[in-house]
């Protein structure tokens, strides 16, 4: 097949190939790269295509093989793709230092707020925070499950209001 005929036939299949590339990658930019790599390889090796061969199947096989090879190479390198808008934050951990000062101050304030709650609300929410399950809290306090859940809900609601007053969470909505 001549270069001109091959280009015409390739152009007819380009919409299909872009769709197939997107189906493989699930990302527009990676699909475009995969399409270009496929076009490059197809034009480079067009002489190997037999005259009676199915061009669509041949191009699909080339694209699938390129995708698999790229996937395996990325897997060997250990690079994980995150398609979120803020993917640059994934690689910034080594540049930041942990600062727990603000968190400690905030936690001290929250513990102080819990201490101000009535004991019937503070004990269940503290037990829940310490990892007890609802059933264990019920057994320990000798209360029905509905009462424990209700008290924890009320305690959370009061804590949200108190935290909002401290201006830690200015956008917290009261339940």
Between CA 152 and CA 145 the distance in angstroms is: 11
- pLDDT at position 62: 93
Query: Sign of the C-alpha dihedral, residues 109, 111, 116, 121?
Result: positive
CATH node for 101-165: 1.10.10.10
Residue ranges of the chain that CATH labels 1.10.1740.10: 3-91
Q: Give me Rg for the CA atoms of the chain.
A: 30
Between CA 43 and CA 1 the distance in angstroms is: 11
- pLDDT at position 102: 59
Contact call for residues 138 and 144 (beta carbons, < 8 A): yes
| Of 74, 72, 44, 73, nearest in space to 59 by CA | 44
Does the pTM exceed 0.85? no
- pLDDT at position 173: 52
Between CA 30 and CA 44 the distance in angstroms is: 21
Each residue's pLDDT expressed in tens, for the chain with a length of 175 residues: 678 888 999 999 999 999 999 999 988 999 999 999 999 999 998 888 888 889 999 999 999 999 999 888 887 776 555 555 555 555 555 555 566 655 665 667 777 888 888 889 989 988 887 888 889 999 989 999 999 999 999 998 998 888 777 765 445 455 5
| Of 153, 172, 150, 152, nearest in space to 161 by CA | 172
- pLDDT at position 144: 93
List the structure tokens of 12. 């007819």
- pLDDT at position 85: 58
CATH node for 3-91: 1.10.1740.10
- pLDDT at position 39: 93
Residue ranges of the chain that CATH labels 1.10.10.10: 101-165
């Amino acid at each position: 097949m001549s270069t001109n005929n091959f280009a015409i036939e390739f152009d007819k299949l380009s919409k299909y190939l872009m769709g197939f590339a997107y189906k493989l990658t699930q990302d527009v930019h990676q699909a475009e790269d995969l399409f270009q790599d496929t076009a490059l390889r197809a034009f480079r090796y067009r002489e190997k295509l037999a005259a009676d061969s199915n061009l669509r199947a041949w191009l699909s096989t080339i694209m699938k093989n390129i995708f698999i090879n790229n996937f395996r190479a990325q897997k060997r390198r250990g690079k994980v793709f995150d398609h979120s808008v803020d993917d640059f934050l994934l690689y910034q951990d080594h540049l930041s230092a942990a600062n727990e000062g603000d968190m400690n101050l905030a936690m001290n304030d929250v513990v102080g707020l819990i201490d101000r709650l009535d004991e019937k609300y503070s004990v269940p929410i503290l037990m829940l925070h310490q990892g007890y399950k609802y059933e264990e809290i019920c057994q320990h306090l000798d209360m029905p499950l509905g009462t424990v859940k209700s008290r924890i809900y009320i305690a959370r609601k009061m804590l949200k209001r108190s935290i909002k007053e401290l201006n830690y969470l200015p956008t917290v909505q009261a339940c």
